[in-house]
Amino acid sequence: MDRNGFSYESFFQRKPVKYMKSPLNYVGGKYKLLPQLIPLFPHRIETFADLFVGGCNVAVNVPAKQYLCNDLNTPIIELFQVFQSTPISSILEHIDANIQHYHLTKQNEEGFLALRAYYNDTRHPLDFYTLTCYSFNYQFRFNAHMEYNNPFGRDRSHFSDRMRKNLIAFTTKLQTVNMEFTSKNFRDISLDRFTPADFLYCDPPYLIASGTYNDGMKGFTDWNKEHEIALYDYLDRADARGLRFALSNILSHKGKENELLQRWCRKYRAIDLCPKNAQTGYPINKQENREVLIVNYGVDNGNFITQPIF
């Protein structure tokens, strides 16, 4: 039990809720963190706005009346829009036709490269999805000319039965909820559209540990201090309007500190997401990252009333 009367042991040993996983293997995806994250969100949400939706791991698992899912990465957003608007049988037929036509297997790099070249000419989102299924680490990357350039996932990557089931579950969900997808810079999403019944969730690239989602994509620059400060300003303005927000981030990473964030978050609540030893208060596993959720609302999860960590 810590000094706030919260037992980390019981919190982290609760029967696990089954969360839905994105069909995209997203760098920085929050799937594994969902059991810690989602109980900290408000219970009643009118519009859940996920401003850096990435693989959509979070939005697809949060109960809300409607959703706004945004990401600067246009091919991802276009893929989600196709998942939303295409009968599941047609999605699977398209992927299966690709597998047959290009003889895609875990060993056939030539077939993979042929589909990659075809996609780079024609840009159909379902060809993009098929490519990710046969790519190294199931990931995706684009070069400066917006060409898909992830290498082949030899001996490992293929469209497995598990992925098929997962894709069916995910697209079914997308087709049954009221979800809007947009591809904008977060700064261009006007705060005017939100009310205090809504909830803004931000999972931006981490300043001190950037992933490769934007790897040289045209129109993208790496996440930098200027973006970070613009996001703090955006969230301060949201707070001033009485809007609730939560920001995922890390305070430190492999010895590097995000001092900007450490200073900024003092005005809100930074909830430490690393499980701690109940007696000593030290993290149970030696963590390379100090992962936090910064919120501007009171989190009352059963007995769990959070306090600022500073």
Ligand X SMILES: C[S@@+](CC[C@H](N)C(=O)[O-])C[C@H]1O[C@@H](n2cnc3c(N)ncnc32)[C@H](O)[C@@H]1O
Interface residues with ligand X (CB under 6 A) are: 22, 26, 28-30, 52, 54-55, 57-58, 70-73, 185-186, 203-205, 213-214, 223, 227
Residues 268 and 101: their CA atoms lie apart, in Å, by 54
Output the residue with the shortest Cβ distance to ligand X.
Answer: 54
Task: State the minimum distance, in angstroms, from the CB of residue 101 to ligand X.
Answer: 30
Q: In terms of CB distance, is 260 or 278 closer to ligand X?
A: 260
Q: In terms of CB distance, is 127 or 203 closer to ligand X?
A: 203
Q: In terms of CB distance, is 99 or 202 closer to ligand X?
A: 202
Task: State the minimum distance, in angstroms, from the CB of residue 18 to ligand X.
Answer: 16
Closest by alpha carbon to 297, among 238, 224, 254, 257? Answer: 238
CA atoms within 13 A on the CB side of 257: 4
What is the phi/psi pair of residue 132, to 5°? -60, -30
Task: State the minimum distance, in angstroms, from the CB of residue 241 to ligand X.
Answer: 20
Task: State the minimum distance, in angstroms, from the CB of residue 33 to ligand X.
Answer: 8
Task: State the minimum distance, in angstroms, from the CB of residue 186 to ligand X.
Answer: 4
Closest by alpha carbon to 21, among 65, 55, 48? Answer: 55
Residues 269 and 260: their CA atoms lie apart, in Å, by 15
Task: State the minimum distance, in angstroms, from the CB of residue 230 to ligand X.
Answer: 8
What single string gives the DSSP state of each residue in 172-197?
Answer: HHHHHS-EEEE---GGGS-GGG--TT
Q: Which residues contact 275 (CB under 8 A, 6 or more apart)?
A: 8, 12, 283, 284, 285
Angle at 14 between CA 13 and CA 20, to 5 degrees: 110
Q: In terms of CB distance, is 153 or 205 closer to ligand X?
A: 205
Helix (H) or strand (E) holding 68: strand 66-70
Q: In terms of CB distance, is 53 or 99 closer to ligand X?
A: 53
Task: State the minimum distance, in angstroms, from the CB of residue 59 to ligand X.
Answer: 8
What is the phi/psi pair of residue 100, to 5°? -70, -50
Q: In terms of CB distance, is 80 or 268 closer to ligand X?
A: 80
Cβ atoms of 135 and 158 within 8 Å: the answer is no
Q: Which residue is it, tokens 């009221």? A: 178
Q: In terms of CB distance, is 185 or 287 closer to ligand X?
A: 185
Q: In terms of CB distance, is 213 or 232 closer to ligand X?
A: 213
Q: Which residue is it, tokens 């276009």? A: 78
Residues 28 and 45: their CA atoms lie apart, in Å, by 24
Task: State the minimum distance, in angstroms, from the CB of residue 66 to ligand X.
Answer: 18
